[in-house]
Structure 1
C-alpha cells in the first residue's frame, strides 16, 4: 500500500489537497488532524466519495514523542505500507506586533511549523531513502518569502522551512526524492476569513483571493512524476504579489 500523508489535512488548504490527491493519484491518503475530529471525518467522507482509500490519523505535529508513538503504531499495524509522499501543511498563526509578542506565541508558531516539519519528515526519510523514491512538499507562505508585518513569528517559521527545503533537497536528490515548498498568498480559507479582503485586494495584481483548490492543483503536480526534475524550489502562488 503506497500512501500520502497530509498534515493538518482536515480543513482549508489541507482538506483541498487530500481531495485533489484522491482524484489525481492512487495513494491511500492519511489525513492528519490535531483537534478538529468532525472536520477530519468530513474530509475523509469526501475523499472516500471521490474513490480513494483513506484514514484519519490524530497527532500534534509539534509534539515529537506523540508523532513518534502514533506513527510507529500505525507503521506496526500496516507493515506493508510505504509513505511515498508527505505534505507538511499543518501550521498556526498567532499574529501580533513583535514588541508585544509573548514567548508562547513565538514558540507555538515555531514548534508547529518548524518542529512539525522535523518530527514528521524525519520519521519517514530513512525509509524513503531505502526505497529510492519520495515526494516532500512543504507548505510555506508569502510571509516566509517576503516577510509580513504583524507576523514576525509566522514569517520566521515559514522562512526557516524555505531554507530547510533547499538544504534537504540537495541531501536526498540522488535517491529520487524531491523536496519543494509551495508559498501561497491570500487564499480563501478559515485562516483568512478575518482579514479585510477589500483592503488587501489592492496588493494583489489579479484582484482576488486564491482558492484552496488552486493551491491543491500545484501540490498534486509536485507529488506526481511530472515534476521529477523540480527540487529545492519555492513556488509562489499568490496572484502576482510583489512581482
Structure 2
C-alpha cells in the first residue's frame, strides 16, 4: 500500500455531501487539499477551517455555467489540476427525466459527468507523467459499470457509463507511468441533499434497510488510492442493491 501522506489532492465538489467526507478522509491521511465548491457557504467555511487544522487547505469557488469548458484552461482549477498529485471529481449533476422530457439544457448538464473529468484528465496527465505518480478518482452512477437501460435517467447514466470507459482508458494507457484511475459507484447515500421522505423510500429498497453513510464511500475511495495495483477498478459500494430488490419479482438485472 502506498502512502499518500504529504500529497496534494484537488477535490472537485468537495464542499458538501460525499465530497466533504472524502476531504475529511484525505485530511486524516495527511493529504493537503484544494477543495472546490460551487458557491460560498458557512458549511464550506467550517469544513475548510476544521481540515486546515490538520493539513494545508485552499478553497476554490467556481460555478459551472453553460459553455465554461471552452475557457477551462484560463481558470484557476486548470492550474490546480496540473499541480495536484490526486484528483477527485465528486461533482456530478443528476438529471432524472424521461427521454421525451429531457431538453437540450438537461443533456448539456448531464454530459458534464463525463466531460469535466475528461478535460481535467487531459490537463493533469503530463505533469503526473513527469512526476511518475498520480491518482485519479471519479464517481460513477449505480449500474454504470456496464451498458444498461434506464427509464428515467438515461442522459445521466449514459454520461456515467462513458466515464467508466474513461477510467479504464486512463488505467490501461498510463499505468507504466505510476498513474492509476479508478471509480467508486455509490448506492443510495445519506447526505444533506436527500430529503427525509427520499431517505425513507430509498432505505426500504436497500438489503440492509439503511442508506450508505458518506464516510463509508470515503473509506472505499482512500482504499483505491493507496493500492497501486488497483487500477481501472469500477467499485460498486451499494450494499448489494439491485433494481428490483424488495419488489418480489425475482428479476434482478
TM-score of the aligned structures, taking structure 1 as reference length: 0.87
> Aligned runs of 1:125-144 on 2, under 5 Å?
125-144=125-144
Q: Deviations over 1:103-162 (max 9, x none)?
A: 11111111x211210222211111001111011111112152455432111111111101
Kept after mapping to 1: 8 A contact 2:167/2:183:
yes
Alpha-carbon separation, structure 2, partners of 1:237 and 1:72:
28
User: Aligned runs of 1:1-243 on 2, under 5 Å?
Assistant: 2-24=7-29, 26-49=30-53, 51-60=54-63, 63-71=68-76, 74=79, 82-110=83-111, 112-145=112-145, 148-193=150-195, 196-224=198-226, 227-242=227-242
What does residue 3 of structure 2 align with? none
Q: Distance in 2 between matches of 1:150 and 1:20?
A: 33
Q: Is the contact between residue 72 and residue 78 of structure 2 (CA under 8 Å) also seen in structure 1?
A: no
Contact 1:6/1:30, CA 8 A, preserved across alignment:
yes
Between structures 1 and 2, the one with greater helix share: 1
> Do the aligned partners of 1:10 and 1:36 also contact (CA within 8 Å) in 2?
no
Shift of residue 61, structure 1, vs aligned partner: 5.5
Structure 2: state its 5+ residue gaps. 1-5, 243-251
| Number of residue pairs the alignment of both structures matches | 233
Runs (4+) off by over 4 Å:
72-75
Q: Is the 8 A contact 1:186 1:209 kept in 2?
A: yes
Name the CA distance, whole Å, in 1 between partners of 2:63 and 2:123.
14
Structure 1, unaligned runs of 5 or more:
76-80
Cα gap change, 1:191 to 1:73, in 2 (>3 Å) = closer
Which secondary structure state, in structure 2, belongs to the residue aligned with residue 87 of structure 1? strand
Partner of 1:96: helix, strand, or coil?
A: coil
* Deviating more after overlay: 172-181 vs 89-98: 89-98
Work out the CA distance in 1 between the residues paired with 2:105 and 2:78. Answer: 30
Conserved? CA contact 2:184–2:221, under 8 Å: yes
Shift of 1:47: 1.2
Question: Measured at CA, do residues 3 and 230 of structure 1 come closer, stay the same or move farther in structure 2, by a change above 3 Å?
Answer: same
- Compute the RMSD of aligned alpha carbons: 2.3
